[in-house]
Chains A and B, each alone.
Chain A
Amino acid sequence: MSEEDLVAASRDGDRRAYATLVRRHAKRVYAVCVGVLGSDADVEDVFQETFVKGMTKINTLRDNKQFAGWILQIARNLCRDHSRKRRRRQKLLQQRPSRHGASPGEFSELHIALEKLPEKHRVPLMLFYFDGKSTEKLAEELNVSKAGACTRLFRARNELRKLLGEREDNR
């Protein structure tokens, strides 16, 4: 079933069709959540919330071909809402963000570096690696040209390298 058919069926209340869309887009939505929120416990909530919201709002999607960009935009917005709340919460509780996802022990240096990496670099990096390492897909997801996507990836890699290098130098 094509993506457009799945979206059309979802509009008609076919939850199994929507579940297929969830499966198809789970990785990239997760990538955006991790990209924006970092290793935060809210990632799981926002991931769920994104797909539930997508389901409740699917009738507002005008062009069935645009589901991918649309669901990622929902994820980004929800992540930003959570980020704002998290900042307030941390300020109040004076807590550090909690860890999430892959084991911190195994990738502790990478985790710390990713945590410090600004969102503008972390999102392209996560999208690229979670979504099949394709610059074409990344360009679509970021809504930029392929060359633009490569440039962002290049900068993100360099920033990440700097952060990883700093960690190594400090040891």
Chain B
Amino acid sequence: MNGRCLEYREKIAELLAGDPSGGDADAVERHLRECPECRRYQEVLLQDDEMLTAYVRSAEETVTRLEGMAVEAITSEKNANYVSPAPTGARWGPRVFRSRTMKFAAAAVVILGIIAVANLFDGTGGSDVVWADVMRQVEQAQDFICRVQQENSDDPDLEMVQYRSQKYGYRMDMYRDGRLVAAQYFKPSSELLYVIVHRDRTYAVVELSEEQREQMLSESNAQSLVDYFRSFEFEELGRKKIDGAVASGIEVVDPEPMKAVFDESSVRLWVDVETNWPVRIEWEGVAKRGRVRVETVLDRFQWNPSLSADDFEFEIPDDYQLIGRMDAPRKDERSAIEGLREYAGFTGGRYPSALSLATALHEVEDELGRRRGGGRLSKGDFGDLMKIQNACGLYVDLVEADKDAAYYGDVVGIRDFDRVLLRWRLDDGQYRVIYGDLRAETVSPERLAELEGRSRR
């Protein structure tokens, strides 16, 4: 083998790849006649090529099977919401309640976010129902109690009881083996939501913005539930027996509610056909492209149980330790960047693959577990980590406002200084761009197209 053999071998490989380049092919031929080692190299290469070709052919059956499964999944009715921008089905009233619904969803961000964070701390046929009558009845309810269960949570033994009163606020008790282990409280006079973990003798505080406070108040009222179901198109689910009573159900088919928390969600409401009172609400949230799925069921409803102020009183014993304070989310560019920066700091430079709180929290969970040996968040970590909700909130607002927002956290990290992480259209038609390294600038649509071409590479 002489000094030029390596060069010729590269050309031999090119020829094998069906890429003969002019005179090179003749030169290679001449060299092969003279060099037995390169002839041997060519023979081995041909054998490997045949083996690889046969290997790929043998895998074709697998590819065809997978292809068929993917096509079936995509074309099945079950996944219609993924791509259909216009869901079909019955419509209950005009969509004028959209903004209130978003308030409901935003309030849920806080509550569900806290539930998610609490889990981190834990380590662990035809309808004969007149839906308008149901809604009117629920609308007039002053308060209600229900059981809340998370069907496939990390902690299946956790049972929650929720108390909601228009006058006195919101409370959620969490039980394990019949023992109260944690509780959440919100009072109409306050701007704070408290999460008390009795088991650990700790508590966390969530500061609500004025807007969020109003949302919480709205949510403490059964009116929000009515608005929620009025705001979206729904489909009839037929009848089934729930706790011995015949119930009739509907499913909200809008794929976007609560998208600041989950990527997709759907809600089913079941109503006792005799009393017209809701007996079961099933909520399903999906994040991380289906890999994180939370199913929450509200049942055992008590409507108008005459709750009093005492039912919402709480005290935090002196020896309970404050483990975290979550500031109200600020949905401006600067705060969003701060949240993304803090998040990337936790994950070694990665951003959430989708800007939803559930995705962000689940993706950071592994990092935290590894760093701390499966331990708990420190007070500082908690606050810093939750700043990601600023970015989630901003993104949802931009999508809602139809600002042509796009987010590429699944393919862009903090080292991608020249790739677009988040962008949205400004009122003057220009685009605001936040790059992977979190610089921000305003660019023309043409420049954005150029940048995004790069982002996808």
Contacts and interface: CB of A to CB of B under 8 A. Distances in A.
A55 to B, nearest CB: 5
Nearest to B291: A49
A88 interface: yes
Given A19-B74, A52-B290, A150-B13, A143 B457 contact: yes
Interface string A4-20: 00000010111110110
A167 B403 CA distance: 58
B368 to A, nearest CB: 13
A157 B70 contact: no
Contact of B59 (A16, A58, A61, A102): A102
A96 interface: no
B280 to A, nearest CB: 29
Q: Chain B's interface: helix, strand, loop or mixed, by majority?
A: helix
A127 B452 CA distance: 24
A66 interface: yes
A13 B63 contact: no
Interface stretch (B46-54, B205-213, B223-231): B46-54
Interface in B174-220: none
Contact of B63 (A26, A74, A151, A161): A26
Q: Specify which of A63, A77, A102 lies most central, judged by the most chain B CB atoms within 10 Å of its CB.
A: A102
Contacts of B71: 19, 22-23
- Interface centre among A51, A128, A154, by most chain B C-beta atoms within 10 angstroms, is A154
A160 interface: yes
A150 B456 CA distance: 23
Given A13-B85, A27-B63, A133 B58 contact: no
Interface residues of B, number: 54
A44 interface: yes
A167 to B, nearest CB: 12
A51 B70 CA distance: 7
> What is the interface residue range for chain A against chain B?
35 or more
A15 B59 contact: no
Nearest to A51: B70
B83 A10 contact: yes
A161 B17 contact: no
B62 interface: yes
Given A110-B51, A125-B52, A135-B18, A157 B63 contact: no
A18 to B, nearest CB: 6
Given A107-B58, A110-B51, A135-B17, A26 B83 contact: no
Interface in A43-88: 44, 47-49, 51-53, 55-56, 58, 60-63, 66, 69-70, 73-74, 77, 81, 84-85, 88
Interface of B: 9-10, 13-14, 17-19, 44-45, 48, 51-56, 58-59, 62-64, 66-67, 69-71, 73-75, 79-80, 82-86, 263, 289-291, 353, 366, 370, 406-408, 410-411, 448-449, 452-453, 456-457
For the complex of A and B, the 3 pairs showing the least CB-CB separation, nearest first, are A102-B58, A26-B67, A154-B13
